[in-house]
Chain A
Amino acid sequence: MNQPCPEGGPSRRAVLQSSAAIGVLAATGLGPPVARAATDTGLPMPVVAPVSITVNGRARALQVDTRATLLDTLRETLGLTGTKKGCDHGQCGACTVLIDGRRANACLTLAVMHDGDEVTTIEGLGTPENLHPMQAAFIKHDGFQCGYCTPGQICSAVGMLAEHRAGWPSAATADLTAAAELSGAEIQERMSGNLCRCSAYPNIVSAIREGAEA
């Protein structure tokens, strides 16, 4: 897995983006389609606002549409496509990132709400040459099949382990006044916000168990 693109070669995404743009321009023969639609229909114009977010350790000063989710901003504005869009409604967990160290659904929060925040995506956890221990554990335990939910699973697992280390209980914790052992049942409950359509759950739990010991 994690085959890097050949140096200098066009990515599939870049090809898709450029052909889509050509399609639009060929159809209208005119400038930016968004601005045109807004004036023609009398719809309210988009509102743009400044926001400064540190993403994977790098400060980014952006002008964002106030409607832009953190997820779309990461993927479409910053090109960090490791974070996936699954349901876009906070139900699947594919978009899970760490905001100031805490896991969150990037689809259910606006970029403009995160001025001054630190966001960590899968790209910030590790690289193909220097994997994060949780990434390595997912590979070792085959904790995926299609891989689409995997970046969210890994970011969620990293956030979940920090919560467990801080002594947070879960719905699987029998004694709320004591620290819970990280059993299989605890991992399952704490990871229930990350769905895997391929149902790689047993291997995901094994990977997280190993990642927890790293």
Chain B
Amino acid sequence: MKPFTYERAETVAQAAAASSRPGARLIAGGTNLLDLMKLEIETPTHLVDIGRLPLKDIAETADGGLRIGSQVANSDLAADDRVRRAYPLLAQALLAGASGQLRNRATTGGNLLQRTRCPYFYDTARPCNKRLPGSGCSALDGFNRMHAILGTSDACIAVHPSDMAVAMTALDARVETVAADGTTRSLGIPSLLRLPGDRPDLDHDLQPGEVITAVTLPPAPPGRQIYRKVRDRASYAFALVSVAAIVDAPAGRPAALRLALGGVAPRPWRATTAERLAAADGRPRNWQDVAEAALTGARGHGRNDFKLPLARRTVAAVLNEAAGTGRA
């Protein structure tokens, strides 16, 4: 690990000012950043610790939603009674991620900004456009069974590893930030997290010094919520495919569907084409077609070709279960 200086931020303004300097990085739980620093993939010269900032509250908003401080631990968020009752999708996603130890340290803001677990991003002996821009993508023709099938570019096919962010994307969460000059803004997760294009080194659209202070959930929409994660082992593994769905399918009326996929794209993938198809008034309702639409534009890269049918079938199974229209 490269040497670095360290400061503990006492205020958000201090954190924003200190982290806007070149070479500075924010650290909260540190479960991802420290891992990358040990491998010298991340080499900050100054760490700004925001772990003690008073951003650990989960509060009800005026409109009946929840405002989650960015320093709320994943374990506290999953255990919160209001989350478990009104947003079970989010509790399920959080509990499907990492281990008990990691969830105790990992924060809401840090979870959103965690970096890909692409093995070539971690292997400093191999080309990787995300780690070393312009060096090439080893995954395109490599061991890419964990990689993305949607939203990729010729420069990068890495996936965003979060479960939490997939559920939050389905819930239309808003991410609140404060910049070093005091400016605040609120953005959806699809605006926060970038697709790779020709700059896969840029994971997100935050400016240097911009600090995530909270994530706000609007009131939960009506309907059944399900988060299903498919992975190589039953626990403590990243998703091959995950599905976050909120299905309101009353008999005789068009369905309202919120659908986001994880493990398949560089950011949580909101399946808007599938949502529109579900809302179209076609009866009898065919969830298989909706699942097909969720994969619009998907493309395999060889070893991850299996993700297309896996994602399609997982979406169909989740929608049938949520709507009560088929075998679970």
Interface residues of A (CB under 8 A from B): 43-47, 49, 65-67, 69, 88-90, 93, 96, 102-105, 108-110, 112-113, 115, 156, 159-160, 163, 166-171, 173, 176-177, 188-194
Contact = CB atoms under 8 A, between A and B. Distances in A.
B79 A193 contact: no
A193 B91 contact: no
Contact of B78 (A67, A156, A169): A169
A163 B4 CA distance: 35
Contacts of A49: 6
B92 interface: yes
Contacts of B98: 193
Given A109-B34, A156-B101, A177 B4 contact: no
Contact of A108 (B3, B5, B75, B105): B105
A96 B104 CA distance: 12
B101 A105 contact: yes
Contacts of B234: 189, 192
Secondary structure dominating the interface of A: loop
A180 B292 CA distance: 37
A76 B34 CA distance: 19
B101 A176 contact: no
Contacts, number: 117
Nearest to A96: B101
B5 A192 contact: no
Interface of B: 1-6, 8, 27, 29-31, 34-35, 37-38, 45, 47, 49, 51, 75, 78-79, 84-85, 88, 91-92, 95-96, 98-102, 104-105, 234-236
A110 B104 CA distance: 15
Contacts of A45: 3
Contacts of B91: 169, 176
A193 B92 CA distance: 17
A175 B49 CA distance: 36
B287 to A, nearest CB: 24
A65 to B, nearest CB: 8
Contacts of A88: 38
A176 B99 contact: no
B35 A193 contact: no
A105 B1 contact: no
Contacts of A193: 98-102, 236
A113 B4 contact: no
Contacts of A163: 75, 79, 100
Contacts of A189: 234-235
A167 B84 CA distance: 12
Nearest to A107: B34
A89 B35 contact: yes
Given A47-B6, A193-B99, 5 more contacts: A166-B79, A171-B95, A189-B235, A190-B100, A192-B236
Given A110-B34, A113-B49, A169-B84, A104 B105 contact: yes
A150 to B, nearest CB: 16
B92 A176 contact: yes
Contacts of A43: 3
15 contacts: A44-B3, A46-B3, A89-B35, A102-B104, A104-B101, A108-B102, A109-B29, A109-B30, A109-B31, A110-B47, A113-B30, A113-B51, A115-B8, A163-B75, A170-B100
Nearest to B83: A176
Contact of B235 (A90, A109, A188): A188
B104 A104 contact: yes
B99 A93 contact: yes
A8 B88 CA distance: 58
A111 B5 CA distance: 13
Contacts of B92: 171, 176
A89 B122 CA distance: 12
A88 B39 CA distance: 11
B23 to A, nearest CB: 11
B105 A105 contact: yes
B95 A169 contact: yes
Contact of A103 (B51, B85, B95, B104): B104
A176 B102 contact: no
A112 B95 CA distance: 29
A206 B285 CA distance: 48
Contacts of A44: 2-3, 45
